[in-house]
Structure formats: structure tokens, C-alpha cells
Structure 1
Amino acid sequence: MNLKNPVNKPPQSTSQSDAQSKRVSASRRTNVPRTVTAPWQQMPANLFLQLNTGEQGLSTVQATEYLSLEGANSLQEAAGTNVVKLAAAQFKSVIIWVLLVAALISAVLGDTIDFVVIVAIVMLNGIIGFYQEYKAEKAIAALKNMTAPQAKVKRDNRVIIVPAANIVVGDILVLEAGDLVAADARLLQSASLKMTEAALTGESEPVDKQANKLLSANTPLCDRDNMVFAGTCVAAGTATALVVATAMNTELGKIARLITDASRSESTPLQQKLDAFGRILVWFSLAIVMLLFLLGWWRGSAPLELVMSAVSLAVAAVPEGLPAIVTIALAMGVMRMSRRNALIRKLPAVETLGSTSVICTDKTGTLTVGEMTVRTLYVGEQCFTVTGEGYAPQGDILLNNQTVNRQNFSGLHELATLLIGCNNAHLVEDNGQWRVAGDPTEGALLAAAHKVFCGQAGGELAHFAQRFPLEYEIPFDSDRKRSCVIRRLEDGTLRAMINGAPDMLLQICNRVYTASGEQPLTEADRARIHQQNTLLGQQALRVLGSAYLDLGHTLPTDLSPAAIEQNLVFVGLSGMVDPPRAEAKAAVAKCVAAGIRAVMVTGDHPQTALAIARDLGIAKEADTVVTGAELDRISEAELVQRAPTIAVYARVTAAHKLRIVHAWKANGAVVAMTGDGVNDAPAIEGADIGIAMGRSGTEVTKQAADMIITDDNFATIVAAVEEGRGIFANIRKTLQYLLAGNTSELLLMTLCVFIGLPVPLLPIHLLWINLVTDGFPALCLATDAIDPDVMQQRPRTRDEPIAANHFLSTMFLTGLLTAGVVFAIYFYSLQTGSVELARTNAFTTLVFAELLRAFGARSETKSLWRIPLRTNLSLVVAVCLIIGLQVWAHQNATLGLFLKITFLSLEECLLLLMFSAIPLMVLELVKLWQNRAQKTAAIVG
């Protein structure tokens, strides 16, 4: 291949060169300070002087001394995890401390079983939490792994390979296609250089770089065309660059600091709600103890009996099974979500998903497929649609929504020949997945050309290079905005094949290819092509034009671009885009229906971002896009105020994304952040719930995330939110079930003490009730099937308590009904029998009532008969077994002695079971009345 790449060098005057030589000679002394007087993108050719180096590179002695003074070129890792502190952190919850106090009291009172059960529950909860958090965040370590293990540098005027950790400021990097950049560097020379910076900036396409540009000090990171950055990759071309920042001073290092600064120190919404509930429970328990003690004292009861009764009730008021049940519910949610392609890395994230009210999502690779795809081919005044996704060479060519016979359109063949001929990319199939080796734009053009010819990469295209051998190449540069390849056709003639920016390409064309062959290019033709170019651009398509020139049989002596690229034949346009995922639009619609706001936050171009956002339904037609440059001019207070009105952010950096997340959180939103690049990691870390893409995501992003979507499908996020909402609903109804039972016990005991009756429940009765009714049924409720209507509800606010008004009213009504029925049976039994029999009847009725009530607790709004029992067979089995155990306890003398209950016949047990169903029936009638009242209000409204 006769490839000649023009080299761009920074301009340099003779006087500058002489001065530089003198300074460089003096700089051999490594103690000369290295200072920076301006941002590097603003620095002219004398930047050598700032770093005590020269065109021949640093000497080995200099590099060694600088390395010892400045440290290795590696990112700092976070301090190691303190195991003791991590273990202690599992016991910070208020409700955990309430349980530990209850366990201590139980031990003092001799209730060994209660003490063992409570301590076991607390320890189980702590072990699970410790295990989850010990798998600590490794984002900084993952960032370190992204840096190049080795790099080519120029030292002592020769190119050598050194470990990336040994790179120092002042080294000269030597870069070529495929290299991973080891440090931030200012370009010295470049030849057709293109950099893939998607992981750092979010830019979906390779970025053209030029050494001879001088930029302003406030140029955004994604527009610093004379710089290369650590962690990015050379897509095409070659360059030399002067290292200006290493380790934590690189842009990658700044992101590492942002990740550390963004680390979520606050607890999750569920943890906050449970802690708040725990504090209420503490004061409530203390109030019960004091009330009953004072009532008993007033009535003249024995002090020891008062202490036993009051403390027993205080212990009963605490739902000791709640922490373990919450943990199990979350763990079961993790298992269900893994089957839906969502991997949870942090257990509380399951519930946090259900609270999500805002999803800040990246565009490239998240909402889009992450691969450039040609969508439109315009040739011969006809606009063809190209089907197929990504780089796969399979697809159809459509005209007016009808598949065309490609053999009947010579213009398509002519255009496809140019797309392949002026192209250095290769399509590679790897386990059924097609990827591009080379420039992604050229890969998209290559895939489209394959579809035009035969729909596959094989056939005649496999021998294209042999059929049309390359004679000369003029690479792409940003001034000409086009590339040119000269190939020899099968008849021996030479043809220059050119692809580039349509506007500039048309300026050097005087003919146009039509269905009848070449024709003069008229002003009407130019206007029509310009109009088509504009229309494609308005559809967020990146448009390239194609043209050719026949040069005869002999290669011209003047091969300059000016000599070759003139009087061309314009052939057509190719419109390409990184298309939205097929399922993304439906997923966004589901988010909107669920009251979740979707916000696009991307490093891509504003016009492209807005077009994709409008297509997916994230932005409305009237919405505009806010760029990173505009964000820099907006104060934090103003951003907090404007954030709810902004749907699309473009050309943003990692710091911008983190600001956006903080602005939404300041508005009270529970924020989820999705992404795949390194530049997404700080915002993912700072959000309430961080979501990384499993396939396209970088390792640092995955380590920073709470959840990983294994199929990179935005729709999976919606499924995960549904699971999260269902889990919270299950936890909430389980808590209501537990507290309603405790409330009935408290009301019953308080009423009896107040009117002077004997205590209806002994401490062993309270322990048994908590064990059999608050244990297994509550666990079955916590793992209940998710209500299919859960996504029709609005998201919960961050400050919404777990026990809202309707929650409390239902809880007290349930407790009052249950206590009333049990008290009636207890009072009647006292009049007709002994205290032991009365206590036995009250105890058994209370057990039966709480077990039956578990069926009604499955929904706060739906009636019992609207929820099929088959969806929670474990609850049916658990209730039946416990009822059987309770009946058997009355028949078995040993168990009856242990529980301090008397014998009851099967008929008596059945009668008590019938009475215990009264609270359930009344509650179901209340639900029915409330539902009818809501329907009537809706009709009237």
C-alpha cells in the first residue's frame, strides 16, 4: 500500500527554536522547576520549555529523578476497608438497638428463648449486611486497571517501551492506532489522528485531533482537539505528544476524586424510614411501660407483677422479626431481579429502585445501540432506507417502504463502491456479533455497502481489494473534511474515490451521477442536494457525501489534494446515526406512566441528543437542550431551580453529571443514574441508585454501580423499578400486619389492667404469638407476588413516612377489632369459668385471628377474593400448619404445660376459629366500602 500521511506540526519560528535549544540544554539539570503558565490546550510550540524537555525527549536520568520526586503514574486507591468499623456499622439502626434492649430485658426476666431468638435475628441481619458491604466499592482500582500497562516514549532521542507507571511529566508519547493513552498529553505532531473518547466524554464518534490548533483556556474537555487523555484509545492515525499530567492530575484522576467525593454516605430511603419508625417505636414502648405501671400502681397491683407485665408488653411492642424479614424480602428480590437481567450489588438498592422518581440516563450505548448505522442512502434523486442494526452486514434497501431489487439501481452500486473503496475499516464476526476493526464511521459505511451488494460480507466483496487495487491515499484531515483513495479499476483506469462533508464536497463537483449516467451539475441540482442534506441533518443523522473522478490509466505526477480533488462527479449522500434501541421508546413510556421522569445526560452533540430524546419521548417538541458550557454559567441554586424543567443535557463532563444528580436530589427526588463510560461513574456513585450497563459498561462504572443491567436494555430498568416497588409494598404490608398484631395485644392488655381484670396474656403467650404469627406468615407476606398494578402508582417521595395516615388508621382499626373480639371472649370466659380457661380462650382466639388476618393483609385496597390464593401457596400452607399446631397444643399435655394453657376440644377450637374470623370479615367489608366510595367520587368528579 502506497500510503503517504501528511504530518501536522506546530508552527515555530527560528528565534523560538534557538531560544528553545538553549533552554533545553540548561534543562538537563533536573532541579530546574517545571511550571505551567497557561492551560495546555492554549500553549504554543514552546511548551517544551515549561517541562524541561526537548524534541529528543527526557534523558533516563531526568525521568528517574522526576519519577522519584512526583511519584508513579498510577491512580490512588481508596484506603483499605476497616473490618471492625464495617461490622459495627451494621448495628447503627435505631430499631436494632431497640431489639438489643428488648433482648437484655428478656434475659433479666428469665425469658431465655425470647433472648436467643432476638439476638439470633439481630446477628443474622448484621452478617448479611456485613457481607454485602464487605464487597466494597472498587471504582478507583478499576480506574487504575484502565490505564495502559505499557507505553512507547521517546527518551535519549530514541523510542523505547516503558511501564505506564513510569511515565512522568515531560515524557514524549509515541502513539499509533490501537494504543491506549497512558497519561494526559499535549499533541506535538499528528497524522490523521482520531481518538475514541466515549468512555471519558460520552462522545459516540471518534474525535479528530490536530497538533497545530491553539484553543482557549475555557475550552470544554470534549473539544480539546490538541490534547489526548489517559484511558482513551487511538482509533486511527499516529502522533507524538508531550505528557503534561500523570496519575491523579489527569482527567481520569479527577474523575477518581469525584467518585470518592460522590460516595453515598447517606442511608437509603428504606433505611431512613425504618430508622424514623424505630425512634417512634422507642418512645411508644416507653410510654406503654409507664402507662401500665402507673395504672397498676393506681389500682394497687403488686410491683413485681407490674414490672413483669409492663416489660412483657414493651417487648411485645417491638416486631423483632422485622429486620430479618426486610433482609429476606430484599434478598428474594435480588434473586427475582437476576432472572430479569438485573444484578444487584448492594442489597438496599432493591427497595431504592422502587422509590425512584428520576432516571438520569446516558444516551450512547444506553438508549442507543452504541454502534453507528447507516439509515439513509440518497442517490439519483431518490432516498433509500437501509434496515438492519449496527455493523451486521445483513439488511434490506427500501424505497417508499418497499424492498427494491438492488440490481435495477446502478446509482446504489456506484455509491456502495465508493463507500467500500474509500475505507480502511474491516468488519469482524465474533460469536455471532459483528464489530468493526477501525473507525466506527467507516465501519457503518462498509456495512451499508455490503447490504447494497449482497447483504453479507462474503461474495464478490471478499476480493474487492484484489479487483480494485489501491494506488494512492490522501487521508482525512479536518481542514478538507474528506478523504481520498485512488484505485485501479478492472479496465485499467484509475479512479479517485472521495468521501467527506457534503457542503465542501459539492464545492469541487461539476457533475452529478444520475440514472442515465453522468450529467452536468446544475444550480437546481446543488439546491436539491443541499436541501436533502439539511433534511437528513434535522433527523439527527450524520451525513457524508461521496464523489469520484476518473484519472486515466497513469497516476498523475501531482498528487496533492488540490490537484486531485477538483471537477468531481457527485454520486450521493449517506445518513448515519447511533440509533435508539428498539425497546427503549416503550420503556420510556412505561416510566412516564409510572410517574418517573427520564432525563438524558450525554456528552454527545446537542442536536443529536435532542433528536434522540424527542424520538424516545424524553423531550417534547418545545423542549431545548442545555450544554455543558451553559451549565458552567449556571450557579448551583439556579440549577436546582431549573433542573425539573430540563429534559436533555449535552456536551457534559463527569463533573456536570454529578451536579445534575445533586440538583435533582436537592429537589427531593430519588435519583437513578445510568451509564457505561468512565465519565458516568461519579454521577452513578453520587445518585441514590447507580445503574451500569453490563455489556458495554467499563469496569469502573460497574464497580461504582448498585445495579448492573446484564443485557444493556433500558427496559430492564423499568422491570427492576417494578420489582423494587413490589418489594417495598410487601415490606410495608408486612410491617402493618406485625404492628396491627402488636397493637391488638397492647390494647387488650391495657384495657384489662385499666378495668382491673387479671392479665389476659402471660409472657410465654406473647412470645408464642410473636413466634408463630409474626414469623412464618409475615415472611410469606414479605415474599408475596408483586401486585400487577404497582406501576400505575406515583413514586413515593423521599420524605414520605413508611407509616402514613392510611397505614396507621388501618393498623389501629385492625388492632381495635381484634382486641375487641378477644376481650369479649375473655370477659365471657371469666364469667363462666376459671382464669386459666379464660386466658386459654383469649390466647387461642388471638392466634387464630392474626393468622386469618394475614390473608387480608396481602393488599390494602383489593378485596380478599380478588387475590388468588394460588399466588402465595406458602402462606396457605403456613397458616394451616400453625392452626393445626395450635389445636394440637390443646390436646398434648406436655406442650399445653409449656404454653400454660388448658385442654380444648376440637369443637371448642372450631368455635373460637369462627369468632376469630370476625376482624377479617369486617376489614374486608371496609375495603369494599372504600373502593365503592372511590369509584363514586371518580364518576362524580
Structure 2
Amino acid sequence: MNVLEEEKKPRLAGRFLEQLNSPLIYILMVAAAVSALLREYGDMMIILTVICLNSFIGVLQEGKAERALEALKKLSSPRALLKEQGRIMEVPAASLIPGDIVCLEAGRQVPADLLLKSAVNLKIEESALTGESVPVEKDTGKHNRAYMSTNVTYGRGEGMVTAIGMDTEIGKIAGMLKNTRQEKTPLQKRLADLGKILSVVSVILCVVLFLIAVLQRRNVPEMLITAISLAVAAVPEGLPAIVTMVLALSVSRMVRVNTIVKRLPSVETLGCVSVVCSDKTGTLTQNRMTVVKCFTEGRICRPEVLDPKKNSHFMRGFVLCNDGELTRGGKAKEAVRLGDPTELALLDMAAAHGIYRHELERSMPRRGEIPFESSRKMMTTFHSCQGSQISYTKGSPDEVLERCRFLLKEGRQMPLEQREKKKIRRVLELFSGEALRVLAVAMYPDADRTREQELTFVGLAGMADPVRPEARAAVEEFREAGVKTVMVTGDREDTAFAIARELGIAKKAEECMTGEELSGLSEEVLKKRLPQIRVFAHVAPEHKVRIVSAYRKAGEIVAMTGDGVNDAPSLKAADVGVAMGLNGTDVAKNASDLVLTDDNFATIAKAIALGRGIYENIKKSVLFLLSSNFGEIITMLAAIALGIPSPLKPSHILWINLITDSLPALALGVDPSGNRNYMKRPPRSREESLFAHGGLGCTVLYGLLIAFISTTAFLQLPIGQLLREGSPVTLRNLEGLMADRVLLGRCQTYAFTVLGISQLFHAVGMRDVETSVFRMKHFNNRLMLLAFFVGFSLQLLVTEIPYFIGIFGTCHLELSEWLMLTVLSAMPLFAHELLVLFER
């Protein structure tokens, strides 16, 4: 079949299992298995619920992204004009086989790789394959190949199918995607490292507790249950679900800035992107040739200042000597836009002044023509006009100027002197120096036929594929954010440099490198030159992959943008592949991590700003969970090492981790304050730890503080009783008092309550470690307010409702006890205020 193979999508079960491939999940599975062996079925069910929830959210989000991409695809399949036994019929392109004869005409897509048998003024736009914005002239000699998925912009021809589907040039590029390995994102690597660390910590804790149980001659099965409790405390079982949910919720924020996320982890990778390798055509530029400068009546001007009356011959010549089709759109019919991009650019220039070819030809019908030929580089048409006749010629400035004897100036025909000729050539050099594609127009008034000698020079039109207006601002924003913008294009070096200079990407020609130069460089030499290069021109698809790989080997995190099939391998090779949704090919979209629905380069800057904020929010969530869990570990480990009973039951830890921690951690993950001023900072390193920039100190400090106040709450009653009795406060006396199950139950209730509520206060302070809680805009994060009050209410539930008191082994607390425990629980917030004051 003449279709490109798509990557096989994993089935639902496979996707679900893929979500389970995480060290943190493995630890939870072991904990669930041990809980089942010890008949702690409630604990087992809670752990398994969290595991399933995490996988379900990941699968759900991937499905949503795929459905959004399907909506972007064209509903119609490509069709081809097949010539068989002298008859021409339209057939599905998928049915073509090698040897078929296919007819090509302007506006058609090339349905397969063809060997051209005939070509009449045939031009094919191959930017999707090569990246070059200017159509390529085709013939039956040297340029006798047409490639699948490219577009015919001018002329007509016939070709024999030589390759279909994956055997075509575009198919080979698509096949390169299978050889590109998908790399893990920095966050995935950090979480994987964290999972390994926590795995080791869990094993060490279990070994230490076993040794303590033997030395203290404790009940070994009881200590095994306690060991599970500590292992569960060491693993923030809500972390995978929280990270996945934060990324999933962030996807909807990405949609608001016109970005569809295909892979959840790529959201946070955006935040550490240090190099954006961007295709030029259709990404930094509009992929639409436009007249940007004109020279007529002896002066250079912008096309918008032309006067339809004063410059009538200039506009008429370019409009009438033209085979493009451009009509007005209206309520009854759609606008028609068909033909060579350069000819359409000339028609656009005239249309801006209300002049359309099909309307003008009613009063000036075409009576004859000499079609464009590569050898002449010109086209001439002959028109009748109110009793007289006129011939217009359009083409290469050098060829047209050689045939001119006169000059049109101030509406009069004057001899073309050498001085004027030199002036025209200087203007031509000026236009060419700006990488403009220049066409000249001349006329022969009162002609009796088409004339191409002794012409009257009328003017020059300089065309370019204009930059996107917002791209320049985006490049500057990237510079402020420490992100390098690198242009990678199939266009010529001079054209690429002109665009790069206009956008502020490059300042000197030495910052450009061609694909030919790149091929001749060794890896070592390329690594040395890479920091100085800002433009890669005239590159092939394999060059783009090498460029992305070179930056990644240099330690950069690379985002690659593009829309063509030629961009697909590099999109997949990059840390973040960004495809264009409107004009991008399906191959490019399938290879990417993100798809821009507005094809706007500036949207990438918004996405990176969001990505940076999202990572910081995830980091806050991770540090909050780890510091809270570290507090639980120290609380239990200290008590057991001292030989006193455990302050917490396994069900207490699971309740706190899965209920009290989850909502606050999620609220931190979606905190709006995560988007402030992040584009004024350099990107983070690929190797940066989650504990960088004070993260480790924050985790240890708050963990120790939570452990201290929880232990204080646990020992408060027995110490108070010993002091009242005048007995010494010793471990033996404490252990003796706690042999009373009623007292132990109340002590554990105190520790359980303080441990849970202190984490709620801790979450409020973690919103912004640099700002006082009294200066925070709390109503900007209503989820945090909800999390606090829901968490507090749930803690009330397990001490005040008899049913839950029975399940968790807690006891009823008086109002005075609640007030005392709440003040003690607020210590992390007091610490937060002291740290902010100290920083100031």
C-alpha cells in the first residue's frame, strides 16, 4: 500500500503497565504484598488504590492528547490523477503501484516518488522534505524526480511511479524515527534516582529494626509490622500520583496557550530547555512569499505606499504577466489561492490595493503569451487595452534589464542611460544582499504582438518569506531567560542569515554553518565550534539529528521545532520535540512531544515559562512530601531506638500520607505563584538535583521539626504524669507508664493529630519559602485553602466519630486538647516566618 507506516500504539493494558514502571511503584507493591502476608488487608487496599489511581490518570491523559491530535488531521485522503490507456481518472493515492503513470498539475500533491516523463513549466514546493521555501523547477533532464507529499505550485507534467509508501524518500525519513530512542526526561531521571534512594533507605530501616528487635528481645512479628510502617513512611506513596496529576492538570493550562501535550513528562522538561533549535520555513517565518520592497519611478518604497494610478504599469505588469490565481472571498464563495508562491506574492501586493487579475483581464484580456522558460528566465504576455495593445515582461532582473532600452519615470518613457542602469543594478545588489527574491517588470507600449526587445523598464519587486512578527520578541525573551535560539533550515546560507539577523538570532556571517561544512567536521571539532554557531543552513534531515545530538552531548537540553517530514527525526531525537499543528505534517506531529495549535513560535516561550513554573511547583510538592515523611521516619525510629512503644500505627501513617498529604501536595503542584519571573532566570541544569538550592536543608529542617513536635506530643502525657508524681523522667518509667493501653492510645492520638495537622501548616508555608504567610495571596490558591480545611476536618473525624475511633485505635479529645495540639502543630509555620525574616 502507498501509505506511510505509523508506529504501533500499545494496547490499553500495555499503557497501563507502562505507568507502573517506576521504582516508587515497585516499593509500594512490595509493601502491599507484605501487608497481605501479615493480613493487614486495609493497608494493602489503600496502597493498591493509589497505584491504580496513578496509572489510570497517566493513561487517561495520553488518550486525551491522541484524540486532540486526531482532530488536527485532515479528514480527506490524498488522491491522484492516474493515466491508463490514454484515459485520465482520479483514484486514491494509496492504490498506486510502481509503474503507474501519474499526471501532475498546479495545486496537486505528488502522490508517490516519480520519474518525470514530461514537464511544462513545472515547479514543485518541497519545503516539507528539504526545508527550502522556494519551489524547485523540474524537467526531464537533471531535475527529473518528484517526491511524495510535496506540492505542485506551477505548470504540469507526467511521471512514472518509482517508489511508494515506506520506500519513498519521505518514507525513508519516517523510517529513521524507529531508530531514534526515546530519552527519559530530567524529572523522570530525578524521580528514578529518588526511588532508588528510598528503596535503599527502606531496606536499611528494615535491617536496623530487625537488629533492634533482636537486641531488645522484642516481639519479632510485631517489629516486622513496625518495619513495614517505617518502609511506608519512607516512601511517599502519593508522590507518583501527585506528580502525574500535577502534570495532567498542567496540560489544560498548556492548552490555554495553544499547546497540546502528547507526553506528560515533557511538560516539566520544557522548564530546563537551554537551546531551541528552530526550523525557519513555517516556524520562524510565515511560509508565504510576500513583496516587502519595491523599486519604481526611481525610488525604493514599501508596497503599501504604491499608488494604483501613478504606479499603474508596475502593478498591472506584475498582475497580468502572471499565471497565479487569487480571487476575493465572499459570503457565496471561498477565496481561491493557487499557483507559484512568488506569483501569488505579486497578486497579494496588488490585491492590497483592490486590484485582482481576473477583474483586470476583463478590460485587458490576454491575446498572446511566451511562457516562462528556464533558459530565458522570463515570461511575456500580450494584452489589448481600449483600442491599443501592450506587452508586459516579467522575470530575472538581469535578463529583463538587458532587453530594456527605455525607462518609465514620472509616467513618461525616457531613454535608459548608463547612469540609470547602474542605479538599478545598485538597487538590485541591495535587495539581493537582504536575501530578497527579486523580479523585474518591463513593458512594450503600443505593441502589435508579444515583444521581448527594446522594452521599457518599469520596476523591481523584492520578495521574502517574512518573519512572524511575534518571533522577534520571543527570541529576545529566550535570550533574557538564558535560552539560545538556533536556526536550522534547508534554505541557502544568505537567505537564512538575513532572516536570522532580522530576528536577532545571529549578528555575523561567521555564526552560520552549512550542511556541507557540518558533514566535514569531526565530533570534537563540532563540539568546539558549536557555541559560536547560531544558524545551520542548507542542511539535510540527517544533519538536523546530528545537530540535536551534538547539543545534547554538550550538556544542553534541546527543544526542536518544525513542521515538515524532514524535521521528524530531529523532533524525536530532541529532549522536547515541538511540531506545528496547522501546517505541520502528520509525520512531524506523530514524532513530537508537543504540538502548537497556532503554529506560533512565540507560543514556545509561553510554554517554557509554564514549564519552568510547573517544575518548581512539582519540586515544592516533592520537598513537602519528603520532609513530611522524613518527620514520620524520625518520629518512629527515635521512639523504637529508645525502647519505648511506637508513636504511630501503620494505619495512622497511611491515613496521613494518602489523605492529609495528597490534597496539600496537589495544591502546591498547581500553585499560581509558580509562574512569576521564571523567564528572568537561566535554565536549570540537566543534572540538577531535586534537593538543589536549599532543597535538602529544607527537607531535613522541617522533617526534624515535625518529628520533634510529634514526639513532644507523644511524650507529653507520660512526662507530665511523672512530673506530677515526682518520679524521675527515665526511659524505664516512660515504658512502664505506656504499658497502660488506654494511656498509650491517647499518646498515639496526640502524636497522630500533631503529625497530620503540622503537615497542613507546613504546606501553607511551602507555597513560597521567600514570602511571609501574611503577604501571600491565599485566595489565588483556593485548592490550598480547601486542602487545609478538608485535612483538618478529616483529622477531627478520626478522633470524634466512634466508628473511625474503632478503626484507627484513637480516642476522643477535649476542646482544650485540640487548641493545645493545634498551637504545637503550627510550629512549621512559625519556623517559616523566622526563616523569611532571617533572609531579609
- How much has 1:625 moved relative to structure 2? 2.1
Aligned to 1:672, which of 542, 547, 559? 559
Structure 1 distance, partners of 2:483, 2:584, is 24
Structure 2 distance, partners of 1:431, 1:287, is 76
2:730 corresponding residue in structure 1: none
Normalized against structure 1, the TM-score is what?
0.82
The reply on whether 1:300 has 2:201 as its aligned counterpart is: no
Structure 1 distance, partners of 2:207, 2:328, is 76
Residue aligned with 1:864, SS: coil
Aligned to 2:541, which of 644, 654, 671? 654
The question of whether the paired residues in 2 share the 8 Å contact of 1:143 and 1:256 is answered with no
The reply on whether 1:710 has 2:597 as its aligned counterpart is: yes
Residues 6-17 of structure 1: matches in 2 within 5 Å?
A: none
Aligned to 1:685, which of 562, 567, 572? 572
Cα distance change, pair 806–615 in 1 and its aligned pair in 2 (3 A): same
- How much has 1:587 moved relative to structure 2? 1.2
Instruction: Give the stretch that moved more between structures: 158-167 or 783-792.
Output: 158-167
Aligned to 2:194, which of 277, 301, 306? 277
Cα distance change, pair 457–380 in 1 and its aligned pair in 2 (3 A): closer
Structure 2 distance, partners of 1:137, 1:881, is 35
Cα distance change, pair 110–730 in 1 and its aligned pair in 2 (3 A): farther
The question of whether the paired residues in 2 share the 8 Å contact of 1:150 and 1:161 is answered with yes
- Paired letter, 1:907: S
The question of whether the paired residues in 2 share the 8 Å contact of 1:658 and 1:686 is answered with yes
The reply on whether 1:905 has 2:793 as its aligned counterpart is: no
Cα distance change, pair 121–238 in 1 and its aligned pair in 2 (3 A): same
Residue aligned with 1:835, SS: helix
- Paired letter, 1:832: G
The reply on whether 1:788 has 2:686 as its aligned counterpart is: no
Cα distance change, pair 360–430 in 1 and its aligned pair in 2 (3 A): farther
The question of whether the paired residues in 1 share the 8 Å contact of 2:443 and 2:456 is answered with yes
The question of whether the paired residues in 2 share the 8 Å contact of 1:152 and 1:175 is answered with no
2:481 corresponding residue in structure 1: 594
2:140 corresponding residue in structure 1: 211
Aligned to 1:698, which of 585, 605, 610? 585
The question of whether the paired residues in 1 share the 8 Å contact of 2:273 and 2:683 is answered with yes
- How much has 1:280 moved relative to structure 2? 0.7
Structure 1 distance, partners of 2:453, 2:106, is 30
1:444 corresponding residue in structure 2: 345
1:825 corresponding residue in structure 2: 713
Residues 501-580 of structure 1: matches in 2 within 5 Å?
A: 501-515=396-410, 517-552=412-447, 554-555=448-449, 564-580=451-467
Residue aligned with 1:826, SS: helix
Residue aligned with 1:585, SS: helix
The question of whether the paired residues in 1 share the 8 Å contact of 2:43 and 2:650 is answered with no
Structure 2 distance, partners of 1:890, 1:242, is 82
1:487 corresponding residue in structure 2: 383
Residue aligned with 2:408, SS: strand
Aligned to 1:925, which of 820, 827, 834? 834
The question of whether the paired residues in 2 share the 8 Å contact of 1:146 and 1:231 is answered with no
- How much has 1:256 moved relative to structure 2? 1.8
Residue aligned with 2:354, SS: coil
The question of whether the paired residues in 2 share the 8 Å contact of 1:143 and 1:700 is answered with no
Structure 1 distance, partners of 2:833, 2:213, is 36
Q: Please, what is the CA RMSD of the aligned residues?
A: 2.8
- How much has 1:194 moved relative to structure 2? 0.8
Structure 1 distance, partners of 2:807, 2:66, is 50
- How much has 1:236 moved relative to structure 2? 1.3
Residue aligned with 1:540, SS: coil
Q: Deviations over 1:128-176 (max 9, x none)?
A: 3345557898999x99999853343466x77676664564545544333
2:619 corresponding residue in structure 1: 732
2:734 corresponding residue in structure 1: none
- How much has 1:868 moved relative to structure 2? 1.0
1:475 corresponding residue in structure 2: 371
Residue aligned with 1:659, SS: helix
Structure 1 distance, partners of 2:130, 2:31, is 54
Structure 1 distance, partners of 2:201, 2:753, is 26
Structure 2 distance, partners of 1:490, 1:880, is 86
Cα distance change, pair 128–897 in 1 and its aligned pair in 2 (3 A): closer
1:194 corresponding residue in structure 2: 123
- How much has 1:628 moved relative to structure 2? 2.3
- How much has 1:912 moved relative to structure 2? 1.7
Residue aligned with 2:393, SS: strand
1:645 corresponding residue in structure 2: 532
The question of whether the paired residues in 1 share the 8 Å contact of 2:174 and 2:565 is answered with no
Residues 186-585 of structure 1: matches in 2 within 5 Å?
A: 186-213=115-142, 225-262=143-180, 264-386=181-303, 396-397=304-305, 406=307, 410=310, 412-429=311-328, 436-451=337-352, 455-457=353-355, 463-492=359-388, 494-515=389-410, 517-552=412-447, 554-555=448-449, 564-585=451-472
- How much has 1:773 moved relative to structure 2? 2.1
Structure 2 distance, partners of 1:772, 1:860, is 24
- Paired letter, 1:414: H
Structure 1 distance, partners of 2:63, 2:500, is 39
- How much has 1:810 moved relative to structure 2? 0.9
Structure 2 distance, partners of 1:131, 1:712, is 26
Structure 2 distance, partners of 1:822, 1:426, is 79
- How much has 1:85 moved relative to structure 2? 4.4
- Paired letter, 1:197: E
- How much has 1:686 moved relative to structure 2? 2.2
The question of whether the paired residues in 2 share the 8 Å contact of 1:258 and 1:655 is answered with no
Cα distance change, pair 434–345 in 1 and its aligned pair in 2 (3 A): farther
Aligned to 2:49, which of 120, 124, 132? 120
Unaligned regions of 5+ residues in structure 2, if any? 722-742
Residue aligned with 1:186, SS: strand
Structure 2 distance, partners of 1:448, 1:879, is 62
The reply on whether 1:149 has 2:57 as its aligned counterpart is: no
2:491 corresponding residue in structure 1: 604
Structure 1 distance, partners of 2:760, 2:220, is 34
Residue aligned with 1:874, SS: helix
2:724 corresponding residue in structure 1: none
2:767 corresponding residue in structure 1: 858
Normalized against structure 2, the TM-score is what?
0.91
Residue aligned with 1:212, SS: coil
2:736 corresponding residue in structure 1: none
Cα distance change, pair 134–885 in 1 and its aligned pair in 2 (3 A): closer
Residue aligned with 2:833, SS: helix
Q: Deviations over 1:282-307 (max 9, x none)?
A: 00111112223323432333323322
Cα distance change, pair 303–162 in 1 and its aligned pair in 2 (3 A): closer
Cα distance change, pair 251–540 in 1 and its aligned pair in 2 (3 A): same
- Paired letter, 2:624: Y
Instruction: Give the stretch that moved more between structures: 442-451 or 796-805.
Output: 796-805
- How much has 1:281 moved relative to structure 2? 0.6
Q: Deviations over 1:259-286 (max 9, x none)?
A: 2223x43322222221111111100111
Structure 1 distance, partners of 2:794, 2:66, is 47
Structure 2 distance, partners of 1:845, 1:137, is 45
- Percent identity of equivalent pairs: 40
The question of whether the paired residues in 1 share the 8 Å contact of 2:285 and 2:467 is answered with yes
Aligned to 1:105, which of 34, 46, 70? 34
